[in-house]
Amino acid sequence: MLVDQIKTEAFRLGFSHCGCARAEPPEELQSFYSGYPEQGKHITLNYLKTNHEKRMDPSRVLPGVKSVITLALNYFPPETIPDEDNFIIAKYAYGSDYHIVVKNRLEQLMAYLKLESGAIQLMSFVDSGPVPEKIWAHRCGLGWQGKNTILINKKSGSFFFLGVLLTDLDLEPDTAGIDYCGDCEKCIRACPTGALDKPYQLDISRCIAFHTIENKSTIPEDVINHLHDRIYGCDICQDVCPFNRFSKSHGFPEFLPSPALINLRKHDWLALTNDQFNAIFANSPVKRIGYQRLMRNIEAAGKKSG
C-alpha cells in the first residue's frame, strides 16, 4: 500500500511518527472559533481570525485536496542545558531553526511521493499557513491534544515538531488518537501563571512562552513574577507531563546546542552583546525575536532571579 511506503520513507528521513487522515473540515475547531478569539485570549495572534475560513476547510488551501499527512520529528535533547546559575530557553530552541530542518525533510518526502505517484498536488506546512497542525496530528493518529493544549503521544511524549502535507492523493486514513489525560492535572497545577486556567484551554495572555517569544510589548508584571529564569519559551507544562517520561533523545546534530550556548551563565547573558547574540543564535529560532527583545526578557527574568 502507498500509505505503508510513505511511512517507511518518512521514518527513513528521521520522522518519529507519520499518519494520514481524510481532508474533511475540522468541525472540532468550530467551538474554538465561536468563542476563544472573541474573548481576547488570542491577544495579538490575529491570524486566528483572518485565516478562519481556510483553517476550517483545507480545500480552500489546496483545491482538490483529499488527504492530510501529518509527521512528527523528535527534538527531546540528550542532555538539557544546565539551569544552575543560568537563564532557561525552551528545548526546541537549543539548536537550528526547526522550520528549516523539518521543511527540508518534508520536501524530500514530497519528492519521493512525486516520483512514486507522478503528477500529484502537494503542499507542505511547518508551523506556517492556515493549517491547524495539532488537530490534524490527532486525526492522523499521532496522539491527542492534552490538557496543556500540546500534542501528546502515549508512547513517546510531546517533544515533537509537527509537519503537515496536503495532497490530492486518496490515502487510507489512520484511526484518530485517543485522549489518555484522564484525571491528571499536573500541567494545570504546574503552570506558574495560571495560563492553563481550564483543561484543554490556554489563556495566551498569561502564557510565559507567548510573552517571551511573541509579545513585542512590555511583559506584564504578574508574568514577570513567575518567569523562574525563563527567557525564551517555557516547557514547564511539558516537563511535568507523565507521558514525557517515555521521551527518547533525538539523533539530529542540527538540534544540539552549541558549546557557546551551553557555556553561558547568568552573568554572561546579562552582558550579552549584539555581536555575541548574532553569533550564538545565527541559525536558531531565538534569532527571530531579535537582540533587543531577548535582552528585555533577560532583564525581566533577572529582576526575580535568586
CA distance 57 to 61: 7
Nearest to 90 by CA among 104, 76, 102, 101: 76
Length, in residues, of the chain: 306
Residue 114 to residue 116: CA distance in whole angstroms = 5
Give the Å distances, CA to CA, from 18 to 5, 68, 71, 123.
11, 11, 4, 16
Which tens digits make up the pLDDT trace of 3-27?
999 999 999 999 999 999 999 988 7
59: left (phi over 0), alpha (psi -120 to 50) or beta: alpha
What is the pLDDT, as a whole number, of residue 32?
57
255-268: average pLDDT: 97
Question: How is the chain split into domains, by residue range?
Answer: 1-306
Region 52-57: what's the mean pLDDT? Answer: 84
Give residue 160's region: left, alpha or beta (phi > 0; psi -120 to 50): beta
Q: What does the pLDDT look like over 196-254, one tens digit per residue?
A: 989 999 999 999 999 999 999 999 999 999 999 999 999 999 999 999 999 999 999 99
- Report whether pLDDT(45) > 60: no
Place of cell 499527512: 69
Axis crossing angle, helix 98-117 with helix 2-12, rounded to the nearest 10: 140
Enzyme catalytic residues: 127
Cell numbers 492530510: residue: 68
Residue 49 has pLDDT above 70, yes or no: no
Amino acid at 76: F
Give the per-residue pLDDT at 54. Answer: 85
What's the pLDDT band for 55 if we cut at 50, 70, 90?
Answer: confident
> What's the rounded Cα separation, in Å, for the pair 155 and 187?
18
Coil/strand/helix, residue 130: coil
Q: pTM of the prediction?
A: 0.92
pLDDT for position 50: 66
